[in-house]
Structure 1
Amino acid sequence: MILCERPYWLPLGACCLSTLLGACMRVGPDFQPQRESWSEHWSSASIEQVTSIATQADEQPDARQWWRVFGDENLEQLIAAADENNGDLKIAALRVIEARAQLGIALAGRYPQVQQANADVLASARKRHDGFDPRSGAYFQYGLGLSIGWELDFWGRFSRAIESADASFFAAQDNREDALVLVHAQVADTYFTLRTTEARLRIARENAQLQKRSYEITQKLFKSGETDELDLQQAKTQYLGTLSSVPVFESQIAVARHALGVLLGRPPGPLPELDVQPAKAGVVPLIDRAVLQDVPAKLLLRRPDVRAAEQQMAAQSALIGVAKADLYPSVSLVGSLVWSASSLTGAPSTLAVVGGPSITWNLFDHGRITNNVRVQDARLQQLIVAYQNTVRDAAREADDAATALSAALQRDTILHDAQGAAQRSLTLANTIYREGYSDFQRVLDAQRALSAQQDAFVVNRGNAVSSLIALYKAVDGGWDRDQPLIDPATRTQMQRRTDWGDLLDEPASPSAAQGPGYQPQGPTR
């Protein structure tokens, strides 16, 4: 140890040395993206068939707000309400705040740490040869001590930890955007499920009313002896069977409303957003094409869940370096400052400054440290495979959605024509029956066919809308960063409990918090 009186050069020299060594001796691997070659140029015939690339003159809304293609203010109001109150979105935003605080913990490792500070005041007395006099023999002794330790980032332990926390912060932001994608898709899908069920309910009621008239006619004919009981019972069976579907659809509508309420962060109850455009009730639109802002291959790699998976790889890659740093000696600068004084007249006060380097090395923990490095590397490899699976799943989701949309569009024309033919068949069957050229069974068959074709047409329309939503979701659609990270009520509640400083403000990027000159080694935006 070195005893010195004016060691003003020590902190500055140590800072320069730490910065130099930390920049030049970073153990562990530097992160490298693990993208497969096929993902750079991927596409499919199904996607090309049902998508187009937006041009500058295209008036279609941005894919981040794809739900506006439906021109439905009810849906836009629902999504706006979900953005404000959805519980999953709030949790995802709070995880961004948590990751930002974790980044602050990692950044603190670059600075000296106060290891011990103490102060004391002692009352003492001197013993005189002529006896003890408390009034003249009592005195006070004061002392103040401060110990500081500063581990130099000799092997990049702290810079790798900052790199990992930086990537984790980005991953938290990406996960929040992924939550936005999921919530927007769920709200839209549930909304159009509701509209499809409303349309099916309307069809069931209309057909039940039609079949009720037939039943009443056969009932009168049976009472007058003009027909047998078979026609009466068959008409009654078909009418009651159709009528029984009405409570089922009403129940499904109530369940869809409950699901929308939960997505909006509310208990089951009224949804005034559904009444913004009353004419949209029971209307299922048909949109035959998704307008994208880029080619599918690039959009897949920009999906929030894909970006989050890549950032998680970067964070884990840096942790390998943190683990490897334990294999090498730890170099620290330690120092103590001790001041003491006394109330005795003429007693001198003393100030002692002690400082010097300290080296620690876990020579006998080599096996534990080596295996910890292997653990971190195995975790990285798992995340690499998980990332590749995420990209493949994203491609599959997009291709599946495009294939389903293409099939639904083809069926739409066929089912529309079949619905018209069924309507015409019922008209002819009623005419022939009234004129006595056929039995009542043909009327029943025509009614059953009309009900089935009308229902199939509406269901297929709903499937087409659902497939379009899934396609937009699969190709990076539905995330919008215009929403505030923390709502005012949550901010106030958290600030009452804890001093958050500026961590609850909207972060521009992690590098802004890390100070000028910091260059993250992981992937950046």
Structure 2
Amino acid sequence: MSQGARGLGIASVVAAAALATACTTLGPDYREPELAWLKAWQSDLYGQVESPEQQTQVDLRFWWRAFNDPVLDGLIETARRENPTLRIAGLRILESRAVLGIAGANRYPQVQQVNGAATYVDNHESGGQAPDKDQHFTAYSASFDLIWELDFWGRFQRGVESAEAGFFASITNQQDVQVLLSAQVADLYYAYRTTLLRIDIARKNAAIQKRSLEITQRLFESGEESELDLQSAKSQYLGTVALIPELESNLVRIRNALSALLGRLPGDMPELASVSGPLPDVRAVAIGDLPARLLLRRRDVRTAAWQVAAQSAQIGIAKADYFPAISLVGSIGWSTSSVDGSPEVRTFAAGPALRWNIFDYGRIGNNVRLQDARLQEAIEQFRNSALLAAQEIDDAAIVVVKTGEQQEPLGGAARAAERSLDLANTLYQEGYADFDRVLDAQRVMFTQAERELLNDSAHISAVITLYKAFGGGWVDMPMEAIVPQPVRDEMRARTDWGDLLTAPLPDRLHEPPIETGSQR
């Protein structure tokens, strides 16, 4: 190659490099959308914030330990290891991490291609005025081609930003699945225990009513009572007995739902074999921070914020199509053939290239509008998720307070109903009251016992929902825990994953992506 050509190639590379230093990044820089109402939302959660009756502060990451129930602790620990939905959320982290790797690779030469060929040619010429001619030779060629589209308008940078935000969103989504899973396990566990207690109440009432039925049966047969008392006693007894199969069916369905959360087939759960006794007494909820700050740290709200960030970068990618694609192009080649006297050719070519679609008939502009509309949708989804989170916190808080207020009067009503039944039985046996008083007292006792139990269950469920609404129940999990060893082994057997299956996750996800502001 001549000195002039070599100089021209070097000059082209230098010129293109200098051009690259003037690169700009199109599209809006991400800022987290504002929540105008958040500063004004200073809820005390109906007296539960800084209440003197509060319990010792609870670590929100492990809020269920406030129930002091080893069985529940074990169930949640098992669910975190075995739950299929949580495992799928973890695999989506790997998926988004691979997408981020693809996006990052676009910042480097997009084409780095080696070409080569060896061609055998057998050429026969016959007929005509020229003498017959046979020619046999082999042609050889090899080349290395490079095309590097410079990120002059920030297309690839925005692509990396979008993929990175998607990667972070997958992490916070996995953490949000942890939150939901912890609450679901606790809710189902106490629903199971509540149903056991309801069955126990129904059986005890059925036993009481059966004794009344036997008494009225004897009195009717001896002619001391009317058939009306007998049939009334039988109706009440059989109606209570009929409730038990329905409750037992519910018990199995709750157990099956809990089994599914633990990644098991339907069937008996050894962990539940020893469950007995009354529901725990949870009188107050320990809140260690303001609701507004807890709301912003919720994993679903953080996921929505990262999704806004991911979509924001898409506008810059779309806008880059307005401008020319500027590339560095280079090629080194060699060719020769086996024909006697044929030269050996070496080539070198380098320089900038430009590709610009100047007539798009509105395609680019409408794509920019499309991405902007999607961005606004993502912003509204973020704001809506925050609004729904505030509603969930407030709803759970009022239920905690009001079910707590009901516990004492309902307990008193249940004890009074028991005493009323004792008195009704005594008066009936002594002939001072008719049998209707006994039946009424039995119905009231059954109803009040159920109401007390169901209110206690609703109180516990509301406490669980409130801790979930605060975003509690997640921890930073290493990749080894997010993707279990058997799954990693199965994936490695198919594909070379490098260190992605064990590489640590970033620790910058606890705070908003950047300072709270407005979307430009």
Calculate the TM-score normalised by the size of structure 2: 0.89
Specify the alignment match of 2:211 in structure 1: 213
Pick the aligned partner of 2:304 from 290, 302, 309: 309
Q: How is 1:219-234 mapped onto 2 (pairs within 5 angstroms)? A: 219-234=217-232
**Secondary structure of 2:289's partner?**
coil
Q: How is 1:125-164 mapped onto 2 (pairs within 5 angstroms)? A: 140-164=138-162
Specify the alignment match of 2:95 in structure 1: 98
Specify the alignment match of 2:31 in structure 1: 32
Specify the alignment match of 1:469 in structure 2: 464
Q: Deviations over 1:127-185 (max 9, x none)?
A: 9xxx9999xx9765432112111001101010011001111111111111111111111
Of 215-224 and 251-260, deviating more is: 215-224
One-letter code aligned to 2:86:
L
Pick the aligned partner of 2:72 from 72, 75, 79: 75
What is the distance in 2 between the residues matched to 1:524 and 1:147? Answer: 44
Q: Tell whether 2:397 aligns with 1:398.
A: no
One-letter code aligned to 1:4:
R
Structure 2 CA distance for partners of 1:184 and 1:325, relative to 1, 3 Å:
same
**Secondary structure of 1:481's partner?**
coil
Structure 2 CA distance for partners of 1:473 and 1:65, relative to 1, 3 Å:
same
By how many angstroms is 1:273 displaced?
Answer: 2.2
Specify the alignment match of 1:502 in structure 2: 499
The answer to whether the Cα contact below 8 Å between 2:155 and 2:316 also exists between their aligned partners in 1 is yes
The answer to whether the Cα contact below 8 Å between 2:57 and 2:287 also exists between their aligned partners in 1 is no
By how many angstroms is 1:289 displaced?
Answer: 2.0
By how many angstroms is 1:219 displaced?
Answer: 1.1
Q: Deviations over 1:250-275 (max 9, x none)?
A: 11111100110111111101212224
**Secondary structure of 2:476's partner?**
coil
**Secondary structure of 1:496's partner?**
helix
Structure 2 CA distance for partners of 1:15 and 1:52, relative to 1, 3 Å:
farther
Q: How is 1:438-477 mapped onto 2 (pairs within 5 angstroms)? A: 438-477=433-472
Specify the alignment match of 1:356 in structure 2: 351
What is the distance in 2 between the residues matched to 1:414 and 1:330? Answer: 76
Q: Tell whether 2:81 aligns with 1:84.
A: yes
**Secondary structure of 1:334's partner?**
strand
One-letter code aligned to 2:36:
S
What is the distance in 2 between the residues matched to 1:62 and 1:510? Answer: 20
**Secondary structure of 2:22's partner?**
helix
The answer to whether the Cα contact below 8 Å between 2:9 and 2:351 also exists between their aligned partners in 1 is no
What is the distance in 1 between the residues matched to 2:403 and 2:51? Answer: 21
The answer to whether the Cα contact below 8 Å between 2:9 and 2:349 also exists between their aligned partners in 1 is no
Stretches of structure 2 lacking an aligned partner (at least 5 in a row): 125-130
**Secondary structure of 1:357's partner?**
strand
Q: How is 1:152-301 mapped onto 2 (pairs within 5 angstroms)? A: 152-275=150-273, 278=274, 280-301=275-296
Q: Deviations over 1:306-353 (max 9, x none)?
A: 011111111111000000011111111111110234568987644321
**Secondary structure of 2:116's partner?**
strand
What is the distance in 2 between the residues matched to 1:126 and 1:237? Answer: 107
What is the distance in 2 between the residues matched to 1:210 and 1:80? Answer: 41
What is the distance in 2 between the residues matched to 1:419 and 1:290? Answer: 25
Structure 2 CA distance for partners of 1:524 and 1:38, relative to 1, 3 Å:
closer
**Secondary structure of 2:331's partner?**
strand
Of 379-388 and 499-508, deviating more is: 499-508
The answer to whether the Cα contact below 8 Å between 2:13 and 2:350 also exists between their aligned partners in 1 is no
What is the distance in 2 between the residues matched to 1:486 and 1:272? Answer: 26
One-letter code aligned to 1:35:
E
Count of aligned positions: 502
Structure 2 CA distance for partners of 1:522 and 1:451, relative to 1, 3 Å:
closer
What is the distance in 2 between the residues matched to 1:15 and 1:423? Answer: 90
The answer to whether the Cα contact below 8 Å between 1:53 and 1:294 also exists between their aligned partners in 2 is no
One-letter code aligned to 1:36:
L
By how many angstroms is 1:241 displaced?
Answer: 1.1
Q: Deviations over 1:386-441 (max 9, x none)?
A: 11111110000000001111111011111000011111111111111111111111
Specify the alignment match of 1:21 in structure 2: 22
Specify the alignment match of 1:121 in structure 2: 118
**Secondary structure of 1:387's partner?**
helix
By how many angstroms is 1:460 displaced?
Answer: 0.4
Specify the alignment match of 2:6 in structure 1: 4
What is the distance in 2 between the residues matched to 1:210 and 1:438? Answer: 18
Specify the alignment match of 1:412 in structure 2: 407
Specify the alignment match of 1:324 in structure 2: 319
One-letter code aligned to 2:215:
I
What is the distance in 1 between the residues matched to 2:7 and 2:119? Answer: 26
By how many angstroms is 1:42 displaced?
Answer: 2.1
Pick the aligned partner of 1:373 from 352, 368, 372: 368
Structure 2 CA distance for partners of 1:336 and 1:265, relative to 1, 3 Å:
same
What is the distance in 2 between the residues matched to 1:282 and 1:511? Answer: 44
What is the distance in 2 between the residues matched to 1:15 and 1:40? Answer: 49
One-letter code aligned to 2:117:
D
The answer to whether the Cα contact below 8 Å between 1:163 and 1:315 also exists between their aligned partners in 2 is yes
What is the distance in 2 between the residues matched to 1:228 and 1:110? Answer: 94
**Secondary structure of 2:350's partner?**
strand
By how many angstroms is 1:61 displaced?
Answer: 4.0
Structure 2 CA distance for partners of 1:16 and 1:165, relative to 1, 3 Å:
farther
Calculate the TM-score normalised by the size of structure 1: 0.89
Specify the alignment match of 2:127 in structure 1: none
The answer to whether the Cα contact below 8 Å between 1:5 and 1:353 also exists between their aligned partners in 2 is no
Stretches of structure 1 lacking an aligned partner (at least 5 in a row): 513-520
What is the distance in 1 between the residues matched to 2:441 and 2:55? Answer: 46
Q: Deviations over 1:254-304 (max 9, x none)?
A: 1100110111111101212224xx2x4253112122223421101101111
One-letter code aligned to 2:102:
I
Of 493-502 and 448-457, deviating more is: 493-502
What is the distance in 2 between the residues matched to 1:425 and 1:506? Answer: 67
Structure 2 CA distance for partners of 1:174 and 1:126, relative to 1, 3 Å:
closer
The answer to whether the Cα contact below 8 Å between 2:55 and 2:284 also exists between their aligned partners in 1 is no
**Secondary structure of 2:204's partner?**
helix
The answer to whether the Cα contact below 8 Å between 2:12 and 2:351 also exists between their aligned partners in 1 is no
